[in-house]
Amino acid sequence: MTPERPKGGDAIPETVPALVRHPVEPSAPVEPGSGPLYAALDLGTNSCRMLIAQPRGSQFQVMDSFSKTVQLGVGLEAYGRLGRASMTRTIQALRICGKKIEKHGVTRMRLVATEACRRASNARDFIRQVRRETGLQLEVIAPEEEARLAVISCAPLVSKKTEQLLVVDIGGGSTELVWIDLSAVPPEERPRAIMRLHAGFLPQNAEPAARVVDWISVPLGVATLKDQFADVEDDAARFALMSWFFEENLASFTPYNAQNPRAGFQIIGTSGTVTTVAASFLGLRRYDRAKVDGLQMSSDQIDTVIRDYLSLGPEGRRSDPRIGRDRHSLIMSGAAILQALMRVWPTDSLSVADRGLREGLLYAQMSADGVLKDGPYQ
């Protein structure tokens, strides 16, 4: 597979409908905490997730949420199409989302779809069916925007000491990596400089800017990588093959061969894989976001958890409460990606982010509307 590269003016394949943005009616400036409700929906290869939130000072308050494993991308690797059963499951989930949006009277929203709908030959028909049956207009976003929104969502976790930042978002159908140079930005401004990327990866003004050294969208996520090696029966061999295969797909990423910076280097990982590994490291039998989000783990600690997963085997992972029923079949492909990243960029501190595309969508909308007090910072 060929990773997506940051080329100016790249078009989405013809099988994917043109991008549709939900119109936002112009309005007078809104005082933080008293503004309208915003919705952000992320339809990925494996899951459908939505947040409904209201701006509160420099943050937002979640008013309602939804998350469902829909496995939209099942069979996509083999057939290049979305399956009928997958589409039915997804539309059922989207109906629930639509009812929540209507119930709360949401007026600002972005409802986006990612890799599965970028790649499927019948994506256009699926988008039309969703609109017809749920009233929701999905927007298929390009890989660059997906990467940018993942970075924005992590802005609150960026340390003021960070000079070189790598943000990794492991999805169901693709994995986005963005390397950002913050060395020219004053330390106290570094989190805010990340937030300003909502306008694009290129500097938009004369303020000290976060410089995007390189970004890449590898068309391998937890679901698609698993499908690539489904015919390998041995558990350990399959894991090793997945990890090395993913690393091969990083070769064109500019920082791949760069010397690993130590002082001022931060990796932020955002995905169900990273949060599951963190929960396992903490020994949580019941997931606790407050303990996971912002946790820092070393390469050795991550490797210990992955070795434990391997020792459990498929049956042990299936019954492990730290992993969960929805995650057990995908955790090893995600762990293979994570191991490859730690092999290339070993670190004493990977920051775990229980946040992602939905939060990025909310921050970007609220920032553009000017309803956040100062950006998503404490």
**C-alpha separations of 41 from 59, 113, 142, 353 in Å:** 18, 8, 15, 18
Ordered structural domains, the chain, with CATH: 146-357 (3.30.420.150)
Phi, psi (deg, nearest 5) at residue 341: -65, -40
Q: What is the pLDDT of residue 195?
A: 81
Nearest to 370 by CA among 53, 35, 112: 35
Which residues fall within 8 angstroms of residue 82, CB to CB, at 6 or more apart?
A: 72, 73, 75, 76, 116, 117, 120, 122, 123, 126
**C-alpha separations of 266 from 122, 157, 244, 351 in Å:** 40, 10, 23, 8
Nearest to 250 by CA among 142, 330, 341, 151: 341
Listed as ranges, residues in the chain with pLDDT below 70 are: 1-35, 198-200, 202-208, 258-262, 374-378
Q: How do beta strands 211-218 and 175-181 pair?
A: antiparallel
pTM for the structure as a whole = 0.82
Q: Which amino acid is at 321?
A: P
